[in-house]
Amino acid sequence: MKTFTKKFAIITLACSLHGCFVAGVAAGAAAIAVVYDHRTIEHTLQDNSLANNISDKINKVPALKNDSHIEVTVFNDVVLLTGETTSAANRDKAGDIAKSVSGNARLYNQITIQGPTSSLTRTSDSWITTKIKSQMLANEDLKSGTIKVVTENGTVYLMGKVKRDQADIAVDIARQVSGVQRVIKIFQYEN
């Protein structure tokens, strides 16, 4: 692990000297997330495939593609729809599509009825997610690889299979990050 940390530090330093610090941090955060993700490769691929299938079908509906901002996240077979759309009918349509593709997976439709958020809001959401993940990784008491963090318009969604004490630590970390409006737990609890 020391070798990975040294390589990450060197890459980050090199990128910052060339003006690509943000890209380096994003790539580093993605690499760290992969290292700490405790799911099997097959399970990760299944989750990604399901999310892509749902997204593709949602994007085939013009009202959902053009008048909405909808994100699909799948983690441990749990489907989370977030974003914004202009009507309850559109929200329900996205949910129906997700159900038809996901079969028996648990679905949480958290799409709000409003116009799509701005790119500035989405950038802020990404920054909030990065800060939360970084603080989770730094916490020695938390197995952060079992938790997925999604931020949409200041609302943080925490997903994963965890013990209750792990969930409490994750929620406390998320609540303390600047810009977080509220935290929603979508956990599957282990004994």
| Ordered domains of the chain (ranges, CATH) | 1-36 (no CATH), 41-113 (3.30.1340)
pLDDT score, position 37: 60
From the list 122, 57, 43, 150, the residue with the least C-alpha distance to 95 is 57
- Tell me which residue has tokens 């759309």: 85
Strands 78-85 and 147-152: unpaired
pLDDT score, position 40: 83
Q: Between 87 and 32, whose confidence is greater?
A: 87
Length of the chain counted residue by residue: 191
Q: Are 37 and 48 in contact (CB under 8 A)?
A: no
- In degrees, to the nearest 5, what angle opens at C-alpha 186 toward C-alphas 183 and 187? 115
- Tell me which residue has tokens 């979508």: 186
Least confident range of 33-42, 57-66, 95-104: 33-42
Residue 74: count other Cβ atoms within 10 Å of its Cβ: 25
pLDDT score, position 22: 44
Q: Mean pLDDT: which of 23-27, 74-78, 165-169 is highest?
A: 165-169
Token pair belonging to 138:
């730094």
- The predicted-structure confidence for 50-60, as pLDDT tens digits, reads as follows 999 999 999 99
Q: Residue 27 — very low, low, confident or very high, per pLDDT cuts 50/70/90?
A: very low
pLDDT score, position 36: 52
Please check the confidence at residue 32 and state whether its pLDDT lies above 50: no
Strands 78-85 and 69-75: antiparallel
Helices (H), the chain: 2-17, 21-36, 41-59, 62-66, 88-102, 119-138, 164-175
Q: Mark 153-176 as b/e (b = at least 16 C-beta within 10 Å).
A: bebbbbbbbbeeebbebbbebbee
Q: Is this prediction's pTM over 0.95?
A: no
Q: How far apart (Å, rounded) are the C-alpha atoms in residues 41 and 88?
A: 36
Q: How far apart (Å, rounded) are the C-alpha atoms in residues 18 and 8?
A: 15
19 DSSP 8-state letter: T
- Mean local confidence (pLDDT), 120-149: 95
From the list 5, 15, 21, the residue with the least C-alpha distance to 137 is 5
Q: How far apart (Å, rounded) are the C-alpha atoms in residues 52 and 73?
A: 9
pLDDT score, position 18: 43
Q: Residue 187 — very low, low, confident or very high, per pLDDT cuts 50/70/90?
A: very high
Q: Residue 152 — very low, low, confident or very high, per pLDDT cuts 50/70/90?
A: very high
Of the chain, the percentage scoring pLDDT greater than 70 comes to: 79
Q: Are 142 and 136 in contact (CB under 8 A)?
A: yes
